[in-house]
Structure formats: structure tokens, C-alpha cells
């Protein structure tokens, strides 16, 4: 529809433009009806078995009905991608239903098991959600990083043929702008010369609890402009604007502009008589105002005063269609929370639901016959055929599914296996090993290295990605030379920037790291081209970006995140930088397989597996073997690494041993059958575990030493095996033992396990439950502090002495 889309139908047969406009207005009504009805049905008509409120947001949905109708049925193109304000999910599903892409059954089961989701979900909804939303602010930022991912592909010439550049659109609740991550994304977007992003702010001036501050919003124009965005304010509807041009109109406009948010909302709720009283009192004496008020009865006055831009189809279309370039644009669309519903404007309406009487009245006003509530065309004033033709021609729906797939990139057999250089005295840390693996990959010219894209929030060099970046360069829309290199300043870092670069350097904002990983990690699905993202950060700061990490996993984005350095093993850096709970985060985070290897050959095996695992997508039935671990479906990977150099074991990792490393653990020193004790370690404390094990052998020659490379996968495998056995005899065969059950099998039934990790001891203490062994669990439970390893390990009881003490205690309690 062109800019003249606002044209009114002509007398006689309407022009095609006018007819499309009329269809949009009718569908807007339908969208409001269906979204309200879907929520009503879930709360009032579906039988409740548990007495819990079902919920859903009728007011928040109403707020976006016009804007989303305009976008989805007219403005958007198939290549555009949208993050929908979470609590407008019913509007999204209603639109998909009208487009024939959502079933009635799903709507009827809104918020029920297997039905349409409360908040749009890429993984759980079947109607082509582009970006999941739910945790406010994250979907907004996602559009920025999706655009950056799109640029990354297009500037490398990797976009699939025939797939045009799309706009990344966020439908933003105004209270979402309180979330700091939105500004982190705004900053980062500016640095990367962001293009093709629209943020459409649903400016209803209400949040969950309250009406938002008046003074705040005046700041937004300026702020977006400062970051190079275009700001388009859609404040008044066409009817209000027409009145402004008449006598008394200027005074009315001024009154609206000066009106505090709370008063405006309260008057919206109270309706026509209240508007009249207030306006008469405030501006009744201004020339022309009395006549202006007298010309309208109360309902007409209320309709005029609520004719804000975001609810005026013509104003909205005009604003959207006026944008033809790719400059990032923020639309501030004035709306009313709950417009058209009985609680419009009420400050407590966030979770408000129409009661059955109110719904009956709403149904009557919408001319929906009883029994025709789910009918796509009931109650509309245009012929069904006209509306069907219109829907069939909606540009956004012109192509089928907008989910793409990309062939996996093979992992080469000769995956880098760095060895400890003699200069290091034969020692190597896992972080150093990671850097060496990446540098070696960078030297090659394989497809895998081509598709790897790295990123880090200002800790690229200190997480050992420097070697990779030196060879692969920094990604930038514009080629830029490294000035230090040009000036012949000696530096180990050569940071040339160009569209060919393969590292995206971020400012220090961990939310941005994880949302960028989410966007890059969905590139195969969003843009049809496979990327293999690897992000690094200091391990403790995973917690800083944790919700964004969860968000990335929830959307099934695929990436490797490297948390390094970690734990108190960081030594002198001190407590603020020493992670304690990250191993538990790694275990508990769905969609993320976590590893903490001690040795670099283990790391190499894990990374080779990880690049394959992150590309898997087999959703077939789960059953036996590694299907327990969802290994066929794939996922993302978290590597918890360390800067502590360790003597590397003199060995060539066999394929079988590599498999054990991937499964989560292996006997570094196997126990004798029936052994009474085993030391179990994870990560950088391998040296202490080895030393303690050597000493204990004098007294307990059969004691074993178990290396845990992934407490997460051992634990997941055990739970999955238990579940499988509970599911039936076929699954419960002996062959279905989990890796950890097999590993602990040779120990005596009453053996003791001494577990040790530089992290929370609960990471390993569950091992005792697998076969009923007793456990002495060593680890870090309190904030770290500065010190060298000898002092710190002693203080936190994870040194050799502490392990031996625990062994002694375990033996004593066996004797007793
Ligand atoms: C991170 C996060 N914190 C809190 C919430 C709970 N919550 C849901 S909606 C909402 C307020 C939303 O207001 P706004 O974005 O203005 O949307 P509106 O309902 O007004 O359209 C809050 C606090 C959430 N979903 N996510
Ligand atoms: Mg709001």
C-alpha cells in the first residue's frame, strides 16, 4: 500500500487502495476480538483442574492490535523478522490464525499443555515465531544483533540467492525501555553502524504496576537521535488532527500535549462525560472549544480523545510506508492500554480480564453470533470473499515457511591437537590450549574455519583469542587499517578490520555477548547460512549475562561459550573475579552441554565434538543409547577453562578415551575391582587429585582416580537412564546403564568417593547417589580472595592435604 493508503473509499465501487484499507480496518477489529476471546476462553470457558489462574493480557494485546495488523497484513515482507512484545502473544497468534498458519485448536489451548504459548516461542509455537520473547528487553536487543548477523553474512556474499535483506523489527512495550540491556544494545548497534532495524514502541504510558513517568519520555527522542536513529512519533490519529485544524483545535492539542500520563489514562477509563468535564474546566473558555465539545455526544468525544496515532490505521500506515531506507528507526506510537475494552486506561489493567458479562457485551458490539466466536469472518462488515482475497495476497505470507536450514559443515579429522611446548616446561593450561586450537584452525583454509565467527566483550586478548583474530581479522562494515601497525608500533595484536573479518569485537556488556551469540547461532534458521559462533568471557561474568544466555538457549541458538579463567584458580585476581557457581549453572542450563576438562587433549576432543554437536538437529524419537542425552538433537556448549598450567599426560588420546571424555568422565587411574575408595576430580585441581591419589595408594592400592570432564553430561546421562528404566522394561535393560553407572560399577558397594572441584561442591556430590556410595565433597562455597594457589587451595580445602584428610575421614567412617 502506498503513502496514499489513507484514502477513503470513493462513492460507488471502492478503489483497490481504499478496499485494502477497509480490509485492514476490519481485520484490526477481528484481531482485537480474537486475541481477547482466546484469553477469555482460556480463563473462563476451559475447565480448570487446579484452581490456578490461567492469565493472559487482554489490555496489552489491545494496545498493539492496530500496529500489528498494519505490520503483518500490509507492511512486512517475508524476509522481515519480528520480536513481538511478549504479552501481545495472543495478537500474534490471532494474526497467524487469520493467515491460515495457526489452528483453532492451538488457540483454544492457549496457555494449556501443547497449545499456543503465553509468550511467542520459536521452539514451542508452531506458527513461525521469529524471535522468542518473554523476559522483557531481550527481544528488543535481539533485533539489533540479528541485523548484525544479517550484515555479517551479506557482506561476505553468503546470503542465499533470492533472499532479500530483511528488516529486524521489535514491537516494544514502553516499560521495556527500563531494561538496561536495551541501551547496551543501542550503544553496540551504533558502533557497528546498525542498519535495517525498526523499534516500534507501544507507548501506552503504562507498565505492569503503574503509569510511567511523564518526564522520562521526553528524553527518548534525543537519545535515539544521538545514536543515529531516525525517530518517528505517531502521536495523533487522523480524526484528532482534523479537529486540531478547526477552531478550538489548537487549544485542544496543547491541552493533550500538556496532560500528565496519569490523568490521560484515568480519563480514558472514565469515558466521555469525564473528558467533557475536564476539558470544560481546563480549556472551556478558549475560543472554539465550547463548540467543539458541543458538536459531540459523550461516546463521540471519548472516541475522539482516544484517537491516538498508534490506533489510527491511516496514521500508522503512513508512518511505516514513509520509511524507504535502511536507517535504524524508532517509532514512538501513542497507544492506549486496553483500548476498546472496559478497562482501557485503568492503571491496574495489566492482568485485567473481562468478566463474562463484559465479554458478552464486547461480543454483541462485535456482532459475533453465539457459536461463531472462532469464525475468521463473523461480525465483519465486508464480504467474506473480499477479505479472503485480501488475506491471500498479504505480502508477508506470500512464501511458505520462513524457517531455513543449512547443511552442516564437516569437522576435519585432523582437528588441532596442540601439545605443551618445551618452553613451558611441558605444561599447558586449558585456556592456552583453547587459544592454540583456535590459532591453528585460523591457519588452515577449511570450511570449518571459514564459518567460525568469534566474539568477546572486550576480553578477546585475555581469553587467548588474539592469535585467531590476528589471522582472521575483525569484522567491520568498512575496511579499516590497524593504525598501530601502520605506525610501526610493535604489538602482538594485529587488528585489521574489514567485512571479511571473522571476529566481532563487543564492548564490555555480557548481555550483548549472549544475545549476539543467539543471533549468530540462529543464522542457519533465520538466514539460511550456517555460522559457528564462539564467544569468550571471564567465567564469573556468565552470571552478568545469565538471562541472556538462557534466552539464547531457549531459542535453540547454537554456539560455544568459553568461560575463562574460572574459579579461585585465578589466584591473585581476587574474589570479585573468581567464579563459584558456574559449574552448577552449566549443569542446570537447558540446551547447554558443559565441560570442564583438565588437559588440552581432552579439550581438543571436546571442541571437535562440539563443532559437530552444535550443528545437529535430529528431532527423532528418543529411545536408547545416547538418545538419552538428546545427542542427536544437538545444542550449545559451555567450556569452563583455566589459566593454570598443568603437566600434560604423556598419551595419545584414543578414540574410545575421547568418547569417554565427551560422555563426561574416565578412570585416569582405574580402581581395582571392589576398591573401597576413589578420588574424583574435575578441572584444574587435577594436580592435587593426582598427588593425593599417589599417596593414598600406599594404604589403599586399589583406589581409583576418576577424571570428570563434564559433570553435566554424566548427570544428564544418569537422570536420562533412570527415566528410561522407569519408562519400561525394554528401556530398562542392562545395556541402558548410564556412563557414570558403568564407571562406578567396579567399586565396592560401600566404597567412598572423595570429590574435588574448584567450584561449588554440589557439582560432584550427587555422584554418591548413583550407586549409594558415601561422599566427601570438596569445593568452594565462599567468596574467593587474592592469593597464590598454595594459600588459596589450602584455605578453601581443595589442596592435596584436604583431599587426603577427606580420604582419611572416609576410611574412618567405613571402619566405624
Ligand atoms: C525481565 C522481566 N521482568 C519482569 C517481567 C514481568 N512483566 C511482564 S510485562 C511487564 C510490564 C510491561 O509493560 P510494557 O512493556 O509497557 O507493556 P504493556 O503491558 O504496557 O503493553 C512486566 C514488568 C518480565 N516479563 N520480564
Ligand atoms: Mg506499557
Burial 754-770 (b: 16+ CB within 10 A, else e): bbbbbbbbbbbbbbbeb
Q: DSSP letters along 269-318, please? A: HH-HHHHHHHHHHHHTTSTTHHHHHHTS-HHHHHHHHT-BGGG-HHHHHH
CB-CB contact of 616 with 632 (8 Å): yes
CA–CA dist 370, 298 (Å, integer)? 29
Distance 135 CA to ligand 2 centre (A): 14
Pairing of strands 503-506, 452-457: parallel
Q: What is the DSSP letter of 683?
A: G
Measured CA to CA, the distance from residue 488 to residue 28 in angstroms comes to 63
CA distances 43 to 55, 57, 62, 105, 355, Å, are: 7, 11, 17, 16, 10
Other Cβ atoms closer than 10 A to 100: 12
At 708, is the secondary structure helix, strand, or coil?
strand
Instruction: Report how far Cα 786 is from the mean position of its chain's Cα atoms.
Output: 35
Per-residue pLDDT at 343 exceeds 80:
yes
pLDDT of residue 482: 78
Residue 519 has which C-alpha cell?
Answer: 543471533
CA of 208 to the centre of ligand 1 (A): 6
Q: Which residues contact 591 (CB under 8 A, 6 or more apart)?
A: 553, 554, 556, 635, 636
131: CA distance to ligand 2 center in Å? 20
84-120 pLDDT, tens digit each: 999 999 999 999 999 999 999 999 999 999 999 999 9
The mean pLDDT value for 706-715 works out to 98
* Residue 272 CA, ligand 1 centroid: distance in Å: 29
pLDDT surpassing 70 at residue 156: yes
The CB density around residue 263, as the number of other CB atoms within 10 Å, is 14
| Position in ligand 1 atom list of the atom nearest CA 174 | 16
Q: Give pLDDT, residue 628.
A: 63
Task: Give pLDDT, residue 400.
Answer: 81
Instruction: Return d(Cα 198, Cα 187) in angstroms, integer.
Output: 15
Q: How far apart are CA 763 and CA 680, in angstroms?
A: 11
Cell matching residue 86 = 511478549
pLDDT at res. 555 = 97
Closest ligand 1 atom to 335 CA: 21
Give the tens place of pLDDT for each residue, 374-416: 999 999 999 999 999 999 999 999 988 899 999 999 999 999 9
Taking residues 770-792, what's their average pLDDT?
Answer: 97
| Separation CA 543–CA 541 (nearest Å) | 5
Band of residue 624 on the pLDDT scale cut at 50, 70, 90: very low
The helix-helix angle for 180-191 and 138-155 (nearest 10°) equals: 20
- How far apart are the CA of 65 and the centre of ligand 1, in A? 17
Whether pLDDT at 571 is above 90: no
Q: Is the dihedral of CA 766, 770, 771, 772 positive or negative?
A: positive
Angle CA 262–177–63, to nearest 5? 55
Report the pocket of ligand 1 as residue ranges, CB < 6 Å: 60, 63, 85-87, 135-136, 173-176, 202, 204, 206-208, 337, 350
For ligand 1, the distance from its centroid to the CA atom of residue 630, given in whole angstroms, is 33
- 6 pLDDT band, cuts 50/70/90, is very low
Q: What is the pLDDT of residue 620?
A: 63
8 Å CB contact between 147 and 197: yes
Q: How far apart are CA 173 and CA 200, in angstroms?
A: 9
pLDDT of residue 308: 97
Q: Give the Cβ contact number of residue 54 at 10 Å.
A: 17
Q: Per-residue pLDDT tens for 451-478? A: 999 999 999 999 999 999 999 999 999 9
Residues, the chain: 816
**pLDDT over 70 percentage in the chain:** 96
Pocket test for ligand 1, best of 67, 87, 137 (most atoms within 8 A of CB): 87
Q: How far is CA 83 from CA 87, 89, 265, in A?
A: 11, 10, 27
Instruction: Provide the percentage of residues in the chain whose pLDDT is more than 90.
Output: 86
- Model confidence band, residue 602 (pLDDT cutoffs 50, 70, 90): very high
Residue 744 has pLDDT above 70, yes or no: yes
Residue 725: which residues within 8 A CB-CB, separation 6 or more?
731, 732, 736
Mean pLDDT for the stretch of residues 588-611? 98
3-state secondary structure 123-187: CCCCCCCCCCCCCCCHHHHHHHHHHHHHHHHHHCCCCCCCCCCCCEEEEEEHHHHHCHHHHHHHH
Rounded Cα distance, 223 and 213, in Å: 17
Residue nearest to atom 9 of ligand 1 (CA): 208
Residue 431 cell numbers, joined: 585456556
Does pLDDT of 491 surpass 90? no
* Strand positions, DSSP E, 538-625: 560-563, 592-595
Q: Is 774 helix (H, G, I), strand (E, B) or coil?
A: strand
Q: Is the pLDDT of residue 213 over 80?
A: no
* Pairwise CA distance, residues 747 & 553, whole Å: 37
**Closest of 653, 519, 396, 671 to residue 139, by C-alpha:** 519
Q: How far apart are CA 434 and CA 432, in angstroms?
A: 5
Is the separation of the CB atoms in 88 and 133 below 8 Å? no
**What average pLDDT score do residues 302-307 get?**
97
Mean pLDDT of the chain: 94
Nearest Cα to Cα of residue 678 among 700, 702, 705, 697: 705
C-alpha count within 13 angstroms, C-beta hemisphere, residue 800: 10
pLDDT at 13: 73
Q: Which of 188-202, 364-378, 605-619, 721-735 has the lowest mean pLDDT?
A: 721-735
Helices 261-270 and 298-305: crossing angle in degrees, nearest 10, is 150
**36 with 58: CB under 8 angstroms?**
yes
Ligand nearest to the CA of 68: 1
Q: In what order do the strands lie in the sheet with 752-757?
A: 665-669, 704-708, 677-682, 752-757, 774-778
Best mutation site among 89, 350, 554 for ligand 1, i.e. most ligand atoms within 8 A of its Cβ?
350
In the predicted structure, residue 623 carries a pLDDT above the cut 80: no
Amino acid at each position: 500500500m502506498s503513502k496514499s493508503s489513507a484514502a477513503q473509499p470513493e462513492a460507488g465501487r471502492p478503489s483497490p487502495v481504499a478496499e485494502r484499507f477497509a480490509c485492514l480496518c476490519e481485520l484490526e477489529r477481528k484481531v482485537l476480538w480474537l486475541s481477547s476471546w482466546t484469553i477469555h476462553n482460556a480463563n473462563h470457558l476451559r475447565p480448570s483442574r487446579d484452581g490456578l489462574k490461567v492469565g493472559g493480557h487482554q489490555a496489552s494485546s489491545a494496545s498493539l492490535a492496530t500496529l500489528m495488523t498494519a505490520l503483518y497484513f500490509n507492511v512486512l515482507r517475508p524476509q522481515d523478522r519480528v520480536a513481538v512484545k511478549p504479552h501481545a502473544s495472543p495478537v500474534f497468534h490471532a494474526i497467524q490464525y487469520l493467515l491460515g498458519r495457526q489452528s483453532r485448536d492451538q488457540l483454544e489451548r492457549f496457555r494449556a499443555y501443547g497449545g499456543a504459548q503465553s509468550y511467542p516461542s520459536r521452539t514451542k509455537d508452531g506458527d513461525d515465531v521469529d524471535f522468542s520473547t518473554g523476559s522483557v528487553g531481550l527481544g528488543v536487543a535481539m533485533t539489533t544483533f540479528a541485523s548484525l548477523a544479517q550484515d555479517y553474512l551479506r557482506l561476505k556474499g553468503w546470503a542465499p540467492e533470492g533472499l532479500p535483506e530483511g528488516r529486524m523489527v521489535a514491537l516494544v512495550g514502553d516499560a521495556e525501555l527500563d531494561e538496561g540491556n536495551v541501551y547496551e544494545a543501542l550503544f553496540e548497534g551504533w558502533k557497528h553502524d546498525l542498519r535495517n532495524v525498526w523499534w516500534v514502541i507501544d507507548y501506552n504510558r503504562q507498565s505492569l504496576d503503574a503509569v510511567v513517568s511523564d518526564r522520562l519520555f521526553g528524553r527518548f527522542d534525543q537519545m535515539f537521535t544521538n545514536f543515529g536513529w531516525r525517530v518517528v512519533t505517531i502521536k495523533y490519529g487522523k480524526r484528532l488532527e482534523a479537529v486540531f485544524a478547526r477552531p478550538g483545535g489548537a487549544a485542544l492539542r496543547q491541552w493533550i500535549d500538556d496532560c500528565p500520563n496519569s490523568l490521560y489514562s484515568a480519563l480514558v477509563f472514565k469515558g466521555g462525560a469525564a473528558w467533557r468535564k475536564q476539558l470544560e474546566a481546563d480549556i472551556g473558555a478558549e475560543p472554539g472549544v465550547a463548540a467543539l465539545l458541543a458538536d459531540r455526544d459523550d461516546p463521540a468525544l471519548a472516541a475522539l480523545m482516544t484517537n491516538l496515532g498508534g490506533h489510527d490505521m491511516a496514521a500508522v500506515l503512513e508512518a511505516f510506508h514513509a520509511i524507504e531506507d535502511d536507517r535504524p528507526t524508532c517509532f514512538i506510537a501513542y497507544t492506549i492500554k486496553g483500548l476498546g475494552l472496559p478497562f482501557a486506561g485503568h492503571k491496574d489493567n495489566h492482568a485485567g480480564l473481562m468478566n463474562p458479562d463484559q465479554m458478552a457485551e464486547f461480543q454483541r458490539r462485535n456482532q459475533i453470533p453465539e457459536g461463531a466466536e472462532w469464525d475468521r469472518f463473523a461480525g465483519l462488515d465486508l464480504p467474506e470473499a473480499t477479505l479472503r482475497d485480501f488475506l491471500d495476497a498479504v505480502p508477508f505470507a506470500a512464501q511458505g515457511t520462513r524457517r531455513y536450514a543449512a547443511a552442516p559443515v564437516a569437522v576435519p579429522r585432523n582437528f588441532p591437537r596442540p601439545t605443551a611446548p618445551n618452553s613451558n616446561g611441558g605444561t599447558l593450561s586449558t585456556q592456552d590450549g583453547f587459544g592454540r586450537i583456535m590459532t591453528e584452525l585460523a591457519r588452515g583454509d577449511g570450511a570449518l574455519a571459514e564459518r567460525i565467527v568469534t566474539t568477546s566483550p572486550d576480553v578477546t586478548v585475555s581469553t587467548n583469542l588474539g592469535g585467531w583474530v590476528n589471522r582472521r581479522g575483525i569484522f567491520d562494515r568498512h575496511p579499516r587499517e590497524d593504525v598501530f601497525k601502520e605506525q610501526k608500533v610493535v604489538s602482538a595484536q594485529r587488528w585489521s578490520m574489514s567485512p571479511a573479518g571473522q571476529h566481532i569485537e563487543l564492548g564490555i556488556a555480557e548481555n550483548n555477548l549472549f544475545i549476539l551469540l543467539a543471533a549468530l547461532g540462529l543464522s542457519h534458521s533465520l538466514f539460511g547460512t550456517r555460522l559457528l559462533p564462539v564467544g569468550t568471557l571471564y567465567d564469573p561474568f556468565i552470571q552478568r549475562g545469565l538471562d541472556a544466555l538462557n534466552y539464547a538457549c531457549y531459542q535453540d541458538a547454537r554456539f560455544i561459550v568459553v568461560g575463562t579463567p574460572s574459579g579461585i584458580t585465578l589466584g591473585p585476581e581476587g574474589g570479585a573475579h573468581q567464579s563459584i557457581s558456574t559449574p552448577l549453572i552449566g549443569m542446570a542450563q537447558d540446551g547447554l552441554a558443559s565441560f570442564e576438562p583438565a588437559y588440552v587433549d581432552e579439550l581438543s576432543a571436546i571442541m571437535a565434538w562440539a563443532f559437530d554437536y552444535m550443528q545437529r538437529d535430529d528431532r527423532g524419537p528418543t529411545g536408547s543409547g545416547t538418545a538419552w542425552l538428546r545427542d542427536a538433537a544437538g545444542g550449545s556448549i559451555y567450556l569452563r577453562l583455566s589459566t593454570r598450567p598443568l603437566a600434560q599426560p604423556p598419551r595419545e588420546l584414543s578414540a574410545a578415551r575421547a568418547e569417554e571424555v565427551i560422555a563426561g568422565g574416565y578412570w585416569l587411574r582405574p580402581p581395582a575391582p571392589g576398591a573401597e575408595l576413589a578420588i574424583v576430580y574435575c578441572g584444574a585441581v587435577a594436580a592435587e587429585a593426582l598427588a593425593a591419589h599417589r599417596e593414598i595408594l600406599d594404604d589403599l592400592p586399589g583406589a581409583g582416580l576418576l577424571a570428570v570432564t563434564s559433570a553435566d553430561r554424566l548427570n544428564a546421562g544418569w537422570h536420562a537412564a533412570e527415566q528410561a528404566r522407569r519408562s519400561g522394561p525394554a528401556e530398562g535393560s542392562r545395556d541402558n546403564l548410564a556412563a557414570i553407572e558403568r564407571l562406578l560399577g567396579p567399586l565396592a558397594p560401600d566404597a567412598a568417593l572423595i570429590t574435588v572441584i574448584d567450584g561449588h561442591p554440589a557439582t560432584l556430590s550427587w555422584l554418591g547417589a548413583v550407586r549409594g556410595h558415601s561422599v566427601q565433597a570438596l569445593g568452594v562455597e565462599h567468596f574467593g580472595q587474592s592469593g597464590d594457589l598454595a594459600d588459596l587451595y589450602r584455605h578453601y580445602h581443595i589442596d592435596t592435604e584436604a583431599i587426603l584428610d577427606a580420604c582419611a575421614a572416609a576410611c574412618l567412617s567405613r571402619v566405624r
